[in-house]
Amino acid sequence: MALTVRQQASYWGIAAAILFALLWGLGNVILPFLVGGALAYFLDPVADRLERMGLSRVVATATISALALLIFVLLALLIVPMLVRQLVQLVNAAPAIFGELQGFLSANFPSIMDQESVLRETLASIGKTIQARGGELASGLLSSALSVINAVVFIVVVPVVAFYLLLDWDKMVGRIDALLPRDHAETVRTIARDIDRVLAGFVRGQVSVCLILGTFYSVTLMLAGLDFGLIVGAIAGLITFIPYVGALIGGALAIGLAFFQFWGDWLQIALIAGIFAVGQFLEGNIVTPKLVGNSVGLHPVWLLFALSAFGTLFGFAGMLVAVPVAAALGVLARFAISQYLGSRLYRGLSGSDEI
């Protein structure tokens, strides 16, 4: 006899409680395994494509792992140190930048920039705060992360976990499918496919968009001669998943720095603004439609809430599971709504053949 709805809800609720308890108590311990699993999920379509080209799963996984290791080494040796250095330099330059802004406003708008002006005091305070707090953040970001997890274990465990999960991904999916309750197997598969489509649209699609646009902004801004171009492009690419916000914040920061660096050279300033205009065109017309397409993504507000909530409750490990949990809850909510719309509770007698 099939379990009642109340019994099923109890069992699934217990399973969810156990999962959250494990995240709460073992967050830092399971962090390398979560990262390795995320990498395996991200790279599984690549391995499947290599298999269709004639490679075995072992050779495909080894090829992907070698390329990933090469990219990681290049990032660790070249990109990350440059990002950290530019971030520290940008933070230290904040007082001078706001001082220049003060001088410009004082020369052109003296009435709002007198000695007792609130705007004048606010600008000075912002510059000093960024230097004081931002410097602490920039210098302590890496050390605080290393104090939470053992860096050596993390660097060793993540590639190993990712390799073996990627190697056995299809087998694991098959075994999980075999364990599904037979009465609800097809419903669970449908919901799982919807969750996978949402995650593919965001994780595989939107993260790729962020990487492509971040690389585009960073490279073009540096080629245009903008100081701190690498860090500005990285910031713009990082928050591209929020529609328009990435371009607005990155564009405002880049154009503001361009005014500070190239004041009077309007062609150079226009070039910086044009880079973000081109980036928006590429994102809206080529990159996002190609990589994300029409898949159902995660609403930015819902995603930000999930990241904030899970990050606060479970730390960095919580932030990693926030996206799949948010996707799952969104799909389950849509499934529940569709069930409700087809139920007698919603339709009542008017939706039936009864008089």
Under 8 Å CB-to-CB from 306, ≥6 apart: which residues?
322, 323, 325, 326
Residue 355 confidence (pLDDT) = 43
Long-range interactions of 62-71: CB distance < 8 A, separation 24+: 64/166, 65/159, 65/162, 65/163, 65/166, 68/39, 68/43, 68/159, 68/162, 69/159
Average pLDDT of the chain to the nearest whole number: 77
Query: What's the burial of 240, exposed, middle or buried (CB within 10 Å: 0-12/13-18/19+)?
Result: buried
Phi-psi region of 130 (alpha: psi -120 to 50; beta: other; left: phi over 0): alpha
Give residue 103's Cα distance to chain centre.
38
In 3D space, the residue among 81, 85, 42, 79 whose CA is nearest the CA of residue 215 turns out to be 79
Tell me how far apart the alpha carbons of residues 126 and 240 are, in angstroms, rounded to a whole number.
25
- Tens digit of each residue's pLDDT (9 = 90 or more) over 39-49: 888 888 889 99
- Tens digit of each residue's pLDDT (9 = 90 or more) over 98-156: 666 666 666 665 655 555 555 556 656 666 665 555 555 555 554 544 454 456 666 77
- Tens digit of each residue's pLDDT (9 = 90 or more) over 162-174: 899 999 988 898 8
Report the predicted TM-score, pTM, of the whole model to 2 decimal places.
Answer: 0.65
Tell me how far apart the alpha carbons of residues 217 and 283 are, in angstroms, rounded to a whole number.
12
Give residue 182's Cα distance to chain centre.
36
Asked if 304 and 323 touch (Cβ cutoff 8 Å), the reply is: no
Residue 338 confidence (pLDDT) = 87
Mean pLDDT (whole number) for 277-297: 75
Name the least confident of 81-95, 143-157, 244-258, 264-278. Answer: 143-157
The CB-side HSE value for 161 (13 A sphere, CA atoms) comes to 17
For the cut 80, the answer to whether the pLDDT of residue 317 exceeds it is no
In terms of DSSP H, where are the helices of the chain? 5-52, 57-74, 80-108, 118-129, 135-148, 151-167, 169-178, 185-199, 207-223, 229-238, 245-262, 266-282, 288-291, 300-341, 344-347
SS3 of 242-281: the string is CCCHHHHHHHHHHHHHHHHHHCCCHHHHHHHHHHHHHHHH
Tell me how far apart the alpha carbons of residues 314 and 298 are, in angstroms, rounded to a whole number.
21
In 3D space, the residue among 323, 248, 318 whose CA is nearest the CA of residue 283 turns out to be 248
Residue 134 confidence (pLDDT) = 54
Asked if 28 and 315 touch (Cβ cutoff 8 Å), the reply is: yes
Residue 130 confidence (pLDDT) = 59
In 3D space, the residue among 295, 254, 292 whose CA is nearest the CA of residue 276 turns out to be 254
Residue 350 pLDDT level (bands cut at 50, 70, 90): low
Q: For residue 310, give both structure tokens.
A: 């899970």
In the chain, % of residues over pLDDT 70 = 75
Handedness of CA 248, 254, 256, 262 (dihedral sign): negative
Name the least confident of 164-178, 272-286, 319-333. Answer: 319-333
